[in-house]
Amino acid sequence: MSITAQVHDREGERAVNPHPLVVELAKVLPKDRKFTAYHVSTPPVNADPLFHSPAYNPTSSSTPSDETKSKSISRRPSKPLKTYCEKHFLAISIDAGNKEKSTEGQVLVLGLEIYIYTTRFSTIVFVSKADSTGYLNLLELPKGTPSPIREVTACFLAYLIANRKRPTKQLVVNLFARAQSQYLFPGSVKNKDKHILDDKGLVKWWCRVLNSLLEGDDYSDVKQTWDKIHGYLVIPGLDNYETRAFLPRTSVASTNWTLGHPLENISPYTKDQNIYGPVIYPRCLIPIFPDDPKARFVEELEESTSEMTKLLSGWKSPKTLEQFWEMMAFRQECSSGRLTGFIWVVFDPPVAPNPATKSAAVIPTPDTSFSAPQVNGEAPTTSIALPLESTQKTKKGLRKRKGKKKKLTGPIIPRKPHVKTHMGPQFPKDTETPYYSWPEHGRGQVVLADTGYKRAIELLLHLEFGTLEQATASTARWSGEVGMGKNWTLEIIGERAAVNPNPTASSTSDGAVNNLSGMVRRKRGSDDQTAADASPSTSPVTTLLGKGVVRKKAKLDYDSTAATSA
């Protein structure tokens, strides 16, 4: 495990060889504020396929004369796609003594869990869980500061996309937004400073996060390496008019987003009709993620349909993807007054040049200076004659090998016990294969085997974050046990300056603020005109507003995060 973080010398805070993740996070975090990052990951390991396999297409390799025979042959499922999964977990902490000097140590404020699924067709970055503790308010950030929770989430996604990009391979960011009080930090719901978003606010929050990958200037380098980037949003139970209200209110949102799904475009089975046929049923187009609402519906449909029916015609119902999403609206996760948003961002690589346009490769002709005699138009098989002596020696050697094993005699010397203190991850031999890419950049500061990674997440889920003292103690225990006593933290100092807290007010050169409220004229209705005519111009008029007219200003909370699970 190699750790390259910011190193401070005695003369001052001079960064030496900063980690790439530190550089990226520093660009989006508040200026001169200190944060600590913890990045854990796993190597790519074999995983269950995300898609159900379609039926084998016998006509792809058969001749027209064999088509009638293939109809009588029972269809069988094709070979499942070889799939790998690489898991990442990022945690951010701050100094717990920023506001309360009596408390010492670090306290976690954010956790992100992301799975990267790869096949020989594409890469899918799946956001599994995201949660906050509510202790970010200890920083007391000024008004106008962008939410560090939202900025870190978008930055980490862009970081993984840049380091896991494969040439000519499509990449998809996928998640579903489902509001809950807590996902990763037990007891954090007891913290009164934690701002928990409802279903509508959660979907809007994630759309803003992913929209920064489409429109944000901070990730222009990432966007330049792709041919096209497009977002998709589906909220079962809502029509397009209602769904459009969840998209960011930007001038290009209607161009960058589609109110629908991209399942046909991202499916590996629709890319080669010669192998899988021209018709792919919905059961093979819907990816199945852990703890996914639509995955549970898919499994119920699979269990209620026979294998032969699924291969011949798919599910009995639904027959199309549109029918599937309509039925999803009546599921428990998407009904009873709850909303669940399914969001995709598809990154299409540049189109590869057509091989037909390239010059034909020169194939060397075989050497025909010697040809063996042919018998009945066919060349005889080549055989090598061994001498008789060598043949006899070979037979004798085989007899000796098949003999009885030698009987062991003498004293028995026991071996010393070998204590395994730590089982390290099984690193793959190759970092670049047709199925995955695992370069050194983008790996966690701690790389664990899949079992060790699960223990690290399980440990976090058994800690307590209800109070600041409990959260500080839990942070110290989790970081200490995961790092095995080694310093694996990434120290970050923010570089982004705060924006104007009141962007609607314009300032003059001498610092005075122009108040334009007196220049705005409000159109008066008939009731207002009647009241003005009935009242003398010299006497003041007091207008009483109804209780429902007054709107309370929303509380500004920089820790408003979306808790999502998958």
Rounded Cα distance, 208 and 154, in Å: 9
Rounded Cα distance, 431 and 438, in Å: 5
Cβ 5 vs Cβ 13: under 8 Å: no
Rounded Cα distance, 465 and 186, in Å: 6
Rounded Cα distance, 451 and 43, in Å: 11
Helix (H), strand (E), coil (C) string for 289-346: CCCCHHHHHHHHHHHCCCHHHHHHHCCCCCCCHHHHHHHHCCCHHHCCCCCCEEEEEE
Rounded Cα distance, 124 and 119, in Å: 9
Per-position DSSP letters for 67-125, written without gaps between them: HHHHHHSPP-BPPPPPEEEEEEEEEEEEETTTT-TT--SEEEEEEEEEEEEE-SSEEEE
Residue with tokens 């060889």: 17
Collect all residues with Cβ–Cβ distance below 8 Å to 555 and sequence separation of at least 6. Answer: 195
- Output the six-digit token pair for 330: 């009546």
Residues labelled as active-site residues: 292
- For residue 537, give Cα distances in angstroms to 518, 523, 530, 540, 544: 18, 19, 13, 8, 19
3-state secondary structure of 471: helix
Q: Classify residue 512 by burial, with Cβ atoms within 10 Å: 0-12, 13-18, 19+.
A: exposed
CA 63, 67, 70, 75 dihedral sign is positive
3-state secondary structure of 252: coil
Residue with tokens 């079992």: 451
C-alpha atoms less than 13 angstroms from C-alpha of 429 in its C-beta half-sphere: 0
List phi, psi (to 5°) of 264: -70, -30
Rounded Cα distance, 168 and 352, in Å: 7
Q: What is the 8-class DSSP label of residue 513?
A: B
